[in-house]
């Protein structure tokens, strides 16, 4: 019986690894070799680097560490180390070419599946293997790199998005108050000990919060246009004048009128913070955000790259949090007021370069995931972070307030 159960777990892991790879390859399928190698921005790696890095990270953890085997291609690892090689230098590294990277990805995957067949996932004290932790980490890693790839794909002219079912186009838009209240009291923050989560989500703890109000939906393009008109603020990334006083979105080489009903996206933390103050509000702390997100549905949310864009603010109301806030998960990452700091009792696991290297006042926390985030990555305790000047990430925001405003 136990053998049967383990086999099922291993089959499920193998299937999910396959599905993750299918999506990665689908995203780059329309691109030429030249597109894959092209450096579009010093802020983003060429796509070819992401592909090699995904496979090299898999080799490091699932073949070398778990399987105690030698790497296929010697010291390749040093060029795919994200900390050693900042994004602006990745276009110049002697990494695998478009012709070499696919066989390398396939070769690593073959060995990953060999090791998976041998490994003990249940009757083990090894925290890396228990409940398949390292496999969950690898799945999340490939999924998360899809999102960095999508950031770059926003700059690719006439990029043809892969056809996916179940996009947000047909979702109805709910009406409701501008803000919803969250009662004072203790709220559970962070991820429990069981199940996969990143080290930065642990340990779980309670936070005593004052009562506060939070916007029911993410801030819209329409509201952001008012803010721009009133203050002279810059437009979000990928907006251009249409020549008649309006604005166009130009991501992926398209030119579409900005939809005032959709959440604003591709704004920096500084811009989000300035908007909140202009509106007489503030950004929520990350703990307030998590409290307001309790009960939000990850199933009824615009995630997983399905529609290749946002849904209108107020959509997916049946996925609302207990607070009544909608779209806490999906559509746009939401900037919070908080610096990325460890929770009290934090322990780096399994490697300090995922979170620990980034703790401190330089990075702000984002919550909730975006349309470009794979569904399996996100949960209400998930913490993302970036520099407050960053605009190429899929980030918007919603405001909070101490009173009803």
Q: Which residues bind ligand AVJ (CB under 6 A)?
A: 82, 141, 144-145, 148, 354, 384-385
Q: Contact, 248 vs 255, CB < 8 A? A: yes
- The nearer residue to ligand AVJ, 147 or 288, going by C-beta atoms, is 147
Could you tell me the smallest distance in angstroms from the CB atom of residue 51 to ligand AVJ?
13
Kindly tell me which of 82 and 274 has the beta carbon lying closer to ligand AVJ.
82
Residue 207, burial from CB neighbour count under 10 angstroms (0-12, 13-18, 19+)? middle
Of 390 and 398, nearer to ligand AVJ (C-beta) is: 390
- How far apart CA 317 and CA 176 sit, in angstroms, is 10
User: How many separate helices (H) and strands (E) can be counted in the chain?
Assistant: 8, 12
Closest separation between CB of residue 122 and ligand AVJ, Å? Answer: 27
**Which tokens in the block code for residue 87?**
């994004």
Q: Is residue 197 classed exposed, middle or buried when 0-12, 13-18 and 19+ CB atoms within 10 A define those classes? A: buried
Nearer to ligand AVJ, 7 or 89 (CB): 89
Nearer to ligand AVJ, 28 or 378 (CB): 378
Query: Strand, helix or coil at 356?
Result: helix
What distance in Å separates the CA atoms of residue 118 and residue 360, rounded to the nearest whole number? 40
Q: CA angle at residue 169 from 327 to 223, to 5 degrees?
A: 50
Minimal CB distance residue for ligand AVJ? 144
Cβ neighbour number for residue 234 with a 10 Å cutoff: 12
Cα(307)–Cα(161) distance, rounded to whole angstroms?
Answer: 9
Going by C-alpha positions, the residue among 189, 191, 49 that lies closest to residue 133 is 191
Rounded to the nearest 5°, which phi and psi values hold at 3?
Answer: -60, -45
Task: Give the nearest distance from C-beta 260 to ligand AVJ in angstroms.
Answer: 29
CB of 156 to ligand AVJ, least distance (A): 19
Question: d(Cα 59, Cα 82) in Å, to the nearest integer?
Answer: 15
Would you list the DSSP string of 82-95? TTTS-GGGGGGS--
259 to each of 92, 286, 334, how far by Cα in Å? Answer: 39, 28, 19
CB 313 within 8 A of CB 218: yes
Closest separation in Å from C-beta 367 to ligand AVJ: 12
- Tell the smallest beta-carbon distance from residue 66 to ligand AVJ (Å): 18
Which residue lies nearer to ligand AVJ by CB, 265 or 320?
Answer: 265
Smallest distance from the beta carbon of 168 to ligand AVJ, in angstroms? Answer: 23
Nearer to ligand AVJ, 149 or 325 (CB): 149
Task: Record the tokens describing residue 217, joined without a space.
Answer: 């939906």
Which CB sits closer to ligand AVJ, 16 or 300? Answer: 16
Closest CB to ligand AVJ among residues 145, 364:
145
CB of 82 to ligand AVJ, least distance (A): 6
The residue among 58 and 273 lying less far from ligand AVJ, judged by its C-beta, is 58
Estimate to the nearest angstrom the gap between the alpha carbon of 391 and the chain centroid. 14
Task: Supply the minimum distance, in Å, between the C-beta of residue 30 and ligand AVJ.
Answer: 23
- Tokens of residue 73, six digits: 């291609």
User: Count of CB atoms within 10 A of residue 115's CB?
Assistant: 16
Q: How far is the CB of 231 from ligand AVJ (least distance, A)?
A: 30
Rounded to whole angstroms, the Cα distance separating 207 from 195 reads 22
């Amino acid at each position: 019986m136990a053998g049967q159960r383990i086999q099922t777990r291993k089959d499920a892991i193998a299937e999910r690894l396959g599905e993750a790879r299918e999506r990665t390859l689908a995203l780059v399928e329309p691109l030429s070799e030249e597109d894959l190698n092209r450096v579009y921005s010093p802020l983003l790696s060429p796509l070819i680097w992401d592909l090699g890095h995904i496979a090299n990270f898999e080799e490091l953890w699932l073949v070398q560490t778990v399987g105690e085997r030698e790497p296929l291609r010697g010291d390749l690892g040093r060029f795919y180390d994200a900390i050693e090689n900042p994004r602006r230098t990745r276009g110049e590294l002697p990494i695998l070419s478009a012709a070499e990277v696919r066989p390398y990805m396939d070769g690593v995957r073959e060995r990953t599946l060999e090791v998976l067949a041998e490994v003990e996932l249940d009757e083990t004290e090894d925290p890396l293997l228990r409940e398949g932790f390292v496999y969950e980490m690898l799945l999340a890693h490939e999924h998360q790199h899809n999102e960095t790839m999508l950031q770059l794909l926003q700059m690719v002219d006439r990029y043809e998005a892969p056809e996916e079912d179940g996009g947000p186009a047909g979702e109805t838009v709910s009406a409701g108050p501008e803000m919803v209240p969250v009662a004072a009291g203790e709220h559970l923050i962070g991820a429990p000990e069981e199940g996969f989560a990143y080290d930065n989500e642990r340990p779980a703890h309670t936070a005593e919060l004052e009562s506060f109000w939070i916007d029911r939906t993410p801030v819209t393009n329409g509201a952001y246009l008012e803010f721009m008109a009133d203050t002279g603020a810059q437009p979000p990334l990928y907006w251009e004048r249409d020549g008649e006083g309006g604005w166009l979105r130009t991501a992926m080489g398209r030119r579409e009128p900005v939809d005032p009903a959709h959440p604003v996206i591709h704004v920096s933390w500084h811009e989000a913070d300035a908007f909140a103050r202009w509106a007489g509000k503030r950004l929520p702390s990350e703990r307030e955000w998590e409290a307001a997100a309790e009960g939000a549905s990850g199933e009824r949310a615009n995630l997983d790259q399905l529609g290749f864009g946002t849904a209108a603010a107020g959509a997916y109301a049946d996925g609302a949090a207990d607070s009544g806030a909608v779209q806490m998960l999906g559509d746009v990452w939401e900037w919070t007021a908080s610096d990325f700091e460890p929770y009290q009792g934090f322990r780096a696991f399994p490697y300090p370069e995922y979170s620990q290297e980034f703790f401190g006042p330089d990075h702000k926390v984002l919550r909730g995931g975006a349309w470009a985030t794979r569904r399996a990555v996100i949960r209400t305790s998930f913490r993302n972070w970036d520099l407050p000047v960053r605009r190429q990430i899929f980030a918007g925001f919603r405001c909070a307030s101490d009173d009803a405003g």
